[in-house]
Amino acid sequence: MRGKGRLRAAAVVLLGLTTALPPGLLAQNTKPTAGNKVLNDLPAAPVPTATQPLSLRSTMKNYGKARTFWNDLPGLYAPVHAPRGNFMNSVRMQDLVKDGKIYLSLSDALTLALENNYDLAIARYNLDIADTDILRARAGAVLLGAPSAIVTNTLGGPSQTLTATGGGPGGSAASAATGFLGISQSADGAGPLPEANIDPNVTGTVQLERANQPQSNTLFSGGKSSLNTNTDQYNFTYNQGFYTGTQLQVGLTNSRVTSDNPFFNYSPLLTSVFKAELTQHLLQGAGIWVNRRLIQEAVYDRRLSDSGFRQQVLYTVNQVENIYWAVVGAYEDLQSKEDALQQSSKVASDDRKQLEIGTMAPLDVVTADSAVATDKQALITAQSNLEYQQLILKQAIARNLNDAALTAAPIIPTDRVNLDPLPEENQSVDDLVQVAFKQRPELEQAVLSLKKDQISIRGARNGLLPTVDAFAFYGSSALGGSQSTGCSGFTGQPCPPGLYPTVSYGTVFQNLFNSSASDKGAGFNVIIPLGNRVAQSLQSRAQLEYRQAQLRLEQLYIQIRMQIVNQKYALVNDRAAVQAADAAQVFNAQSLDAEQKKLKLGASTTALVLQQVRNLATAEDNLTDARVVYARDRAELFQLMATTMQHYGINMEDATTGTVNAQPVVPGLEQAKPSKEPNLPAPGMR
């Protein structure tokens, strides 16, 4: 019963999302259907946070806004130029370089990532691309699709995420390698296509022809061996489709023919034909909802792109934070390795002095020298690791690494995590899960996908119907011109003047609409598929994909719950691990101090002192690792609950435009304790 409750709750969320659509967009979708009946009397549930970028764009250009004949005629036929991407680092990056070093806080790193990270910059285009599909759908064209997948090209920083979509409706990538040419297509957008010419078009043809035709029978050419005919044609056609399933076609053809043919009564001969035909779908393709459903889908696709971008921000912020803590760990590891080398070098120096005065055995000196060599190797490894982690962080927060000053500047991380308990650590798992159910963009995407599947189901159901079209037309024709000089035909004598009165084109055009030569009628076109198997298979597939998406939504609830449970337990264990590692570090520091005092009194050996040096170095490494793991898991909990932006004060508008006006503030941090900076060679210079 709990599973049904969640599924119904998600459906309520689905209905809530429709309130964000433009007014009137869903006005035609008011009749209950089999899919909607399941969604009517459902219990309340946490409503996912409305994704903000629907009204935001990465640039000032609105690619979903149409340029019309009335407000921007030249713009109808002018190409749109997307602004060139920025490949330079933000000014903030240069401001952080001081004395050849980059003193970087976590807040600075996240701010630079929002401004410079390529994954975010690439994902921003998804919003504008989705807008182009809205514009396309309003013209009655088939959707091209809007991308919403997470971009994961930035190196480093493991981060766990869920994806509500992928491969197919079930979210499984395994299904993507089946079907024609290895592609599995879905029933998305099933049903009859809207009228293609919602945007009307006018077709014009002007043709001037001059023909000289030899005659094989002079009897019908008035004794002439060839006839000259000049034909001028001026034809126009207007086509427009309407959301009601109506198609209008209006045609006007005009010709002016001059000829020396004696059988022509008029030369020039003016001919004009008018015809207007209106066709209305009565079953398949009939109704405003059917023909506007792709607009609804395009709006949902835009919301999916918006939600996907919010998920991208969560992913990238968490990734950069993971990378930052990796740099912190490598930095403190280098400090630990330098301290260990300093300790072992001092022991070796003292042993050599005692060897010179005869109070130390040569083997002890050899042991100390071996320890120094080992510590030097560990120091080189730590330096290399720090250089690599710094480069990983730079590629995550900068766009251009060709700046020599930036590349050469080592990063000094200035923030450390403190152990002050988070409010989330004192909350119950159910409370945290409810927050995640409200915030996670994956759930929003799954619910939007269900709504799109409902549209596909209704469209596929309409596609089962026969095609029955009613049509009506009105046409007329008229002719006129000036009497031909050789209209006598077989007699060979000229026609009497005034036998065929001259009729101007104005009169000819007027006669088109006075019913003097009308052509009108009405009728029906009926197409009844006797097998209808293609439509049946598509309708069945749409239903099956909808049921599959329902199961996928329920699975998402379970996955998210298990992620939250696992992460909270991990955070509790991490805190205990940090406390244990801190106690072990204090114990080993005191043990080393005691062992060194014993060595001075002759109550210990070099080997025992070096062993305590190793123990202290190991304890410091364990403490560093424990703090890094705790910091990462804390950030991971924020991401799994999708509350990172609220905790850090990240403005979604800033993230969408890539211009940060309000710098994030990360809670639970403290300044690094003042200490001697380790030896930081320029990257690649050691």
What mean pLDDT comes out for the span 334-351? 85
Task: Retrieve residue 491's tokens.
Answer: 């007699």
Q: pTM of the prediction? A: 0.82
- Token pair, residue 617, equals 């170095």
């020298």: which residue's tokens?
A: 369
pLDDT at 381 over 60: yes
Position 103 confidence tier, pLDDT thresholds 50, 70, 90: very high
The Cα–Cα gap between 486 and 62 comes to 65
Q: Mean pLDDT across the chain, nearest whole number?
A: 81
Q: What is the CA radius of gyration of the chain?
A: 40
264 pLDDT above the threshold of 50: yes
pLDDT > 70? residue 297: yes
Say what the pLDDT of residue 220 is: 58
What percent of the chain lies above the pLDDT cut of 70? 80
Across residues 598-622, what is the average pLDDT?
A: 85
- Tell me whether strands 467-483 and 518-527 are parallel, antiparallel or unpaired: antiparallel
pLDDT band at 499 (very low <50, low <70, confident <90, very high): low
> Average of pLDDT values for 375-396?
92
**Closest-CA residue to 541 (of 10, 175, 39):** 175
For residue 98, list its beta bridge partners.
101
**How high is the pLDDT of residue 178?**
53
**Is residue 43 scored above 50 in pLDDT?**
no
Q: What is the homologous superfamily of the domain 1-81+92-198+293-465+537-686 according to CATH?
A: Outer membrane efflux proteins (OEP) (1.20.1600.10)
Banded model confidence at residue 175, pLDDT cuts 50, 70, 90: very low
For residues 98 and 106, give the distance between their C-alpha atoms in angstroms, rounded to a whole number. Answer: 17
Q: How many CA atoms lie within 13 A of 14 on its CB side?
A: 26
* Burial class of residue 71 in the structure, from the number of CB atoms within 10 Å of its CB (0-12 exposed, 13-18 middle, 19+ buried): exposed
To which residue do tokens 């701010």 refer? Answer: 111
For range 355-361, the mean pLDDT: 74
Residue 570: what are its φ and ψ, rounded to 5°?
-65, -40
In this predicted structure, which of 277-286, 360-369, 440-449 has the lowest mean pLDDT? 360-369
pLDDT value of position 27: 35
Whether the predicted pLDDT of 268 surpasses 80? yes
Start-end of CATH 1.20.1600.10 domains in the chain:
1-81+92-198+293-465+537-686
In this predicted structure, what is the pLDDT of residue 321?
94
Q: What is the pLDDT of residues 521-542, one digit of tens each?
A: 999 999 999 989 999 998 999 9
pLDDT at 493: 64
CB 319 within 8 A of CB 405: no
Quote the DSSP letter at residue 259: E
pLDDT band with cut points at 50, 70 and 90 for residue 681 = low
| Range of weakest confidence among 14-28, 150-164, 456-470 | 14-28
DSSP-derived letter for residue 625 is: H
Question: Which band of pLDDT confidence, cut at 50, 70 and 90, is reported for residue 17?
Answer: very low
With pLDDT > 90 as the criterion, what percentage of the chain qualifies? Answer: 36
- DSSP calls for 32-84: --HHHHTTSS----PPPPPPGGGG--SSS--TTSPPPTTT-TGGGGSPP-PPP
**What pLDDT is stored for residue 372 in this prediction?**
87
Instruction: Please state, in angstroms and rounded to a whole number, the distance separating the CA atoms of residues 135 and 143.
Output: 10
Least confident among 25-34, 173-182, 285-294: 25-34
* pLDDT tens-place string over residues 48-65: 667 777 677 766 677 777
Whether 522 contacts 473, CB under 8 Å: yes
What pLDDT does residue 607 have?
A: 82
pLDDT digits (tens, 9 = 90+) for 440-475: 999 999 999 999 999 999 999 999 999 999 999 999
Q: Write out pLDDT tens, residues 212-261.
A: 777 666 655 555 667 778 899 999 999 999 999 999 999 999 999 888 77
Packing angle, helices 362-397 and 288-356, rounded to 10: 160
| Amino acid present at 417 | V
**Distance between CA 509 and CA 477 in Å, rounded?**
9
